[in-house]
Structure 1
Amino acid sequence: MFRAISTLGLAVIVVVSAWAWLGAPVAMPPSPLAAGEKLHCVSYAPFRNGQSPLDGGTVIPRAQIEEDLARLAKVTGCVRTYATELGLSMVPEIAAQHGLKVLQGLWLGSEPAKNAVEIETVVRLANEHRDTIRGVVVGNEVLLRGEMSDIDLADTIRKVKAQVPVPVTYADVWEYWLRHRSLAAAVDFVTIHILPYWEDFPVAAHDAGRHIDEIERKVAAVFPGKEILIGEAGWPSAGRMREGALPSPANQARVIHDLLELAKRDGYRVNVIEAFDQPWKRRLEGTVGGHWGLLDASSREPKFVLGEAVSNRPLWIWQAIGGVLMVLAVGASAHLAAHRRGAVIQVGWGGWAGLWVLAVSAGVFVPMAAEAAMLESLGPGGWVRNGALLAAAAAAAPLIAAALVFGRPLEGFGVVLDSQQRLLTDFWIKAPALLLAIVTVLAIQSALGLVFDARYKDFPFAALSAAVLPLAVLAVSGSRGPRLDGIAEIAAAAVLVGSAIFVSLNETFANWQAQWTCVLWLVLAATLLRARGARS
């Protein structure tokens, strides 16, 4: 009893301490904005959960835009739009009612008929709301998408410029301005996008401000005499790492702070991307695409306050409680196994050490995996995949705890795939083997995805940790029989090892999410090789 209480008590202490550390607020410098001072401008798209500009039938209600702009008027003096369709043509009129200026977007694409309608609408709005519309952005990243030539784009800009009473510009990633320098002659000012996270060589959050400053100066030197507007700059609050660039609430707050401090120090005009999270962007850019907003998509409330500490896990207390419940579940499973049918099975110190590892891994990683599943699941396929991985993660530690107490080995796939073995094998051998097969399939699916199409895919390190570590403990601690070759296990291990090597090098060692995931693939590969020939 003393060993059980000591093991579980220590596990609870470690789990609660880990969650307290994960949820601890990260200190921020004082706000660069004076009391009552607002942001220069923010990108505004009105789409909420279930709404998307990719769905042709979407029309945003006027009341929704009114509610959004009323909120934004408290934090900024200007909003930047990107188009006029789907109800966005109402923005200038409503913005004027709230004292907001508008940087009016004009969407250009590869369809001339749609472009003509957009141009006509923007020209009308610019003439009707000349006191509200601060400037017109003719096209957004058209060159980046390859939907127009620079010659056709320049002609379109001049056409619009001749019909509107406000300054005209074009917006694109800064490299495309340097590749198409002749465009500067067609615009009144140059609008560049600087997104350190999305750079070809991603920039970490602590260097983002310096990077933005360097790029602005570089572009300004190329276009002397032209005013430069940083038309998009910001940082995501959630999503996968890109090399050393980690999305998180604290990193988002710090990058925005550094950006505003830079703008105030050097007199830059900056439009922050973006006002509200846009869930629809996840269909194009994965989890990270939907989390660039300063305000949450659902609550419509700010994610942080400049100058105040920011927690990356504000609900950590609830997650710690969930972690303690997982520790208790592991303890209960081991206790029931040890006292099965009135008999008492003795567990040695090695077994208790294994149970402690199971309890801690479940207490830390299962709540983390649940958070990731809620955040990263998109569409039926995503929910099924992440739900299956979460279920395996939650079941792994309690299940393996019982198998560990019973002294069962970790068998290979044969005991669940071979009908004769399945009939003759103990449940406490079949269940871990089935878990091993499920986790292996899910791990290979994620591994191959990150090898062949990695840009927008997340790293499932939390769920894999909760699922793989218990299996590895059983593989090391469980009794073993004669070794027989298991072709499926060897092949799966080879895929995991190859994927781990490729992803580790491709993502670089600066990406700890990638490296952690790769280590788990290697641990699972070793577990498969150790388990492949065990017999009860």
Structure 2
Amino acid sequence: MRTAFPRSPVALFAILSCIAFSLLFWMILGRPHLIVEAPDRRVQCVSYTPSNGDTLPAGEHYRLPEGLIARDLERLHTLTNCVRTYSSRSVNRDVIPEAHAAGMKAWLGIWLGHDPEENDREIASALDLARTYPETIEVIVVGNEVLLRRDMTAARLIEAIRTVKQNTSLPVTYADVLDFWVRNPEVAEAVDRVTVHILPYWEDEHPVDVEAARTKARETLDHARSLFPDKPVQIGEIGWPAAGRARAQAVPSVVNQATFLREFAAWAHTTDVRYNIIEAIDQPWKRRQEGTVGGSWGVLDAARAPKFPMAGPVYEWPHWERGLGASLSGLAAGLFLPMAFLGGRSMRNRYWVLVTLAGTLSGTVLYLFGVQALEFSYGLGGKLRAVLLWSLALAGSVLALYQLTGGRLSPRHRRLWRLAVLCMAGYAALAMGIDGRYRDFLTLGFLFPALTLLLPSREEDTGSQPDTGPDADRQGPTEAWLGLGIVIFGLLGIDSPWNLQALAWAGVCLALGYACRPAMALEWSRFRSALSRSR
């Protein structure tokens, strides 16, 4: 049966089913999660780097809005009574007097690097603060992951530690991951406390899920205590990101972040351990270096709003109604766009079912990818990239609906579209395959563009001869090699068989490669012919 608008029971059932499943999907995403509460709804200490959020907070000429540090500490004081800094100069120096005024404690950081003169200035500034605010500063952290970054040798680091210890009565420590304490045990002899960083998400060998991460953190702490029984061991950084790419089973999310931090705080309350959470406030400027995940470790977002409470239910999608609206908008597009494409012509009911499903899915995908694009965009270039990728996803959604209604692009436009999709997907797959540590998976962005390449062209639909003009002949090898590269580098992006994000991305890459199979087969035939002639 053909109709210009879906009136059959099957089509109406499909519409009602899409509405029901959309509602169920978003209600599940927006459901409350009940998690162990943090004791007194507080944590011991948090890393705090004063920043406007957009630029690296470094250099003597870096400026902040007036009163920003005081306002930040006022907000943080509801969550903690302590902040950790990483430098004693520039805007970081101003944190200590503001913490003193707010009645808070501080772990004073000294940033050490390659430049000896800069290191001397850092040490001098820190010692000046230590003399002025000894009751505020709980411990001086001389260097942060200096050995991990290979900025200094252990001997030079010990020299800096001793310089500080000779000029203050405050406790002195150094902060790094446990591996570098193990490799350089002489550093432990020079400090008053051993400070270890425990970040299960960044575990290089075996990133674990949030449930196993709690056990991993406890085991690491116990191991550190067994290695240095004569020194107090404290945790300098511990946390979980709220957004970004998954690493094996380690999945960033607000619920996972809340679960890890609240349950760790509850456990730490029952044992004798001093710890610091990384970090107080999201740092969007870190996205340039570490992708979405790098800027998403804060318990407050960049606007200084709490991502989750320290007690009560936690929501991953608190505004899930917006997503439902996007899904239903996609459903509406799936119903009304085909009528515009058909121009008064009728369409079989089974195709109405397909476009209804595709429309609902497109609305859902575009909303989810839009949220992801907002997270990974940083700076003008990042924002333009996000707009370009989202526009590609939108064009793919509209084109898929157009193709499902029987519409077909001209051979020339189809070649241009395929080339655009494959070039962008090829770059994304290459980047993920060889340098994917800090990159987000763009599965949702390429889902519908991949579908449009899999749907039959007019020539395939009608059985007529495909376009064989000079442009098509030139594009064939390009498409073949792009398709092959997308498949290879898409598979290289799989870091673990348990990483569902990586597997989904590889699936989209395989679909794009499958769409290129005619060109790949033709190129293989040409290669074999050339090889046989050379013999």
Partner of 1:420: none
Distance 1:124 1:233, change over 3 A: same
SS of match in other structure, 2:173: strand
* Pairing 1:381–2:381 present: yes
Task: Give 1:109's match in structure 2, choosing from 87, 109, 113.
Answer: 113
1:497 partner letter:
V
Aligned-residue offset at 1:106 = 0.8
Alpha-carbon distance in structure 1 between the residues aligned to 2:92 and 2:490: 46
Change (3 A) 1:359 1:478: farther
Q: Distance in 1 between matches of 2:349 and 2:484?
A: 34
Counterpart position of 2:129? 125
AA aligned to 1:527 is A
Cα separation, 2, equivalents of 1:215 and 1:516: 32
Corresponding residue SS for 2:315: coil
Deviation at 1:530, TM superposition (A): 5.9
Contact 2:331 2:357 in 1 (8 A): no
* 1:140 alignment partner, one of 117, 137, 144: 144
Q: Helix, strand or coil for the counterpart of 2:234? A: strand
* Aligned counterparts of 1:376 and 1:87: Cα–Cα separation in 2: 26
Percent identical residues:
34
Residue matched to 1:10? 17
Alignment of 1:17-416 (within 5 A): 17-29=24-36, 31-34=37-40, 38-54=42-58, 57-61=61-65, 63-201=67-205, 202-298=207-303, 300-338=304-342, 340=343, 342=344, 344-347=345-348, 349=350, 351-406=351-406, 408=408, 415-416=411-412
Supply the distance in 1 between the matched residues of 2:13 and 2:441 (Cα, whole angstroms).
34
Larger mean CA deviation between 236-245 and 489-498 belongs to 489-498
Q: Describe the superposition over 1:190-238 as per-residue Cα deviations: whole angstroms up to 9, x where unpaired.
A: 0000100011121211111100100011111110121001010000000
Question: In structure 2, do the counterparts of structure 1 residues 61 and 397 end up closer, same or farther at CA, with 3 Å as the change threshold?
Answer: closer
Counterpart residue type for residue 392 of structure 2: A
User: What do residues 470-508 of structure 1 show as CA deviations (whole Å, max 9, x unaligned)?
Assistant: 44345699545346783333222211221222223xx11
Shift of 1:332: 1.4
Cα pair 2:127 2:164 within 8 Å, conserved: yes
SS of 2:32's partner is: coil
User: Which segments of 5 or more consecutive residues in structure 2 lack a partner in the other structure?
Assistant: 1-5, 522-535
Secondary structure of residue in 2 paired with 1:301: coil
Alignment of 1:383-462 (within 5 A): 383-406=383-406, 408=408, 415-416=411-412, 430=413, 433-462=415-444
Distance 2:397 2:152 in 1: 55
Does residue 1:481 correspond to 2:479, yes or no?
no
Residue 468 (str. 1) matches residue 450 (str. 2): yes
Which deviates the most, 68-77 or 464-473?
A: 464-473
Does the 8 Å CA contact 2:334/2:357 hold for their aligned counterparts?
no
Task: Give the drift of 1:278.
Answer: 0.9
More displaced 10-residue stretch of structure 1: 514-523 or 8-17 = 8-17
What is the Cα deviation at residue 294 of structure 1?
0.5
Residue pair 1:96, 1:132 contacting (<8 A) in 2 also: yes
Cα pair distance change 1:91/1:407, threshold 3 Å = closer
Give the secondary-structure state (helix, strand or coil) at the position aligned to 2:388: helix
1:370-390 Cα distance to aligned partner (Å, 9 max, x none): 111111112333333332221
Per the TM alignment, residue 56 of structure 1 is displaced from its structure 2 partner at its CA by 6.0
Equivalent residue letter for 1:240:
R
Residues in 1 aligned to 2:480 and 2:314: alpha-carbon distance in whole angstroms: 46
Deviation per residue, 1:15-73 (Å, 9 max, x gap): 333222222222213x1403xx6321111111122232256631335511111111111
For 1:247 and 1:475, how far apart are their aligned partners in 2? 40
Alpha-carbon distance, 1:526 to partner: 1.5
Secondary structure at 2:86 match in 1: coil
Aligned 8 A contact 2:331 2:363 in 1: yes
Partners of 2:518 and 2:352 in 1: CA distance: 22
CA distance, structure 2, for counterparts of residue 454 and residue 186 of structure 1: 38
Deviation at 1:323, TM superposition (A): 2.0
Q: 1:345 to 1:352 in 2, by over 3 A?
A: same
Q: Distance in 2 between matches of 1:453 and 1:68?
A: 35
Q: In the aligned structure 1, how far is the partner of 2:308 from the partner of 2:49?
A: 20
Task: Render the CA deviation track for 1:358-404: whole Å, top value 9, x for unaligned.
Answer: 22320221101111111111233333333222112112233232233
2:361, 2:170 → 1: CA distance?
60
Match of residue 522 from structure 1? 510
Question: What's the offset of the Cα at 1:438?
Answer: 2.2
* Distance of aligned partners of 1:87 and 1:479 in 2 relative to their CA distance in 1, 3 Å threshold: same
Question: What one-letter code is carried by the residue in structure 2 that aligns with 1:488?
Answer: T
Q: Report the counterpart of residue 524 of structure 2 in structure 1.
A: none
Q: Which segment drifts farther, 257-266 or 171-180?
A: 257-266
Cα 1:496–1:278 change in 2 (3 A) is same
Contact conserved, 2:335 with 2:356, CA < 8 A, in 1? Answer: no
Supply the RMSD in Å over aligned alpha carbons: 2.3
Provide TM-score, normalisation by structure 2.
0.89
Q: State the AA in 2 paired with 1:108.
A: L
Alpha-carbon offset, residue 11 of structure 1: 2.6
Shift of the alpha carbon at 1:2? 1.4
| Residue 490, structure 1, aligned to residue 480, structure 2 | yes
Quick one: distance in 1 between partners of 2:102 and 2:423?
Answer: 54
Relative to 1, partners in 2 of residues 1:239 and 1:56: Cα closer, same or farther, differing over 3 Å?
farther
Query: What's 2:529 paired with?
Result: none
From the superposition, tell whether residues 364 and 460 of structure 1 become closer, same or farther in structure 2 (CA, over 3 Å): same
Question: C-alpha displacement at 1:174, in angstroms?
Answer: 1.4
Q: How many residues align?
A: 505
Residue 527 of structure 2: aligned partner: none
- Closer/same/farther in 2, CA of residues 531 and 248 from structure 1, 3 Å limit: same
Q: Which amino acid aligns with 1:481?
A: S
Whether the aligned pair in 2 keeps the contact of 1:15 and 1:363 (CA below 8 Å) is no
User: Which residue in 2 is equivalent to 1:421?
Assistant: none
The amino acid that maps onto 2:308 is F
SS in 2 for 1:135: strand
Instruction: Tell me how far apart the structure 2 counterparts of residues 143 and 405 of structure 1 sit (CA, whole Å).
Output: 61
Q: SS of the counterpart of 2:269? A: helix
Q: How far apart are the structure 2 equivalents of 1:145 and 1:323?
A: 46
SS of 2:389 mapped into structure 1: helix
Distance 1:96 1:407, change over 3 A: closer
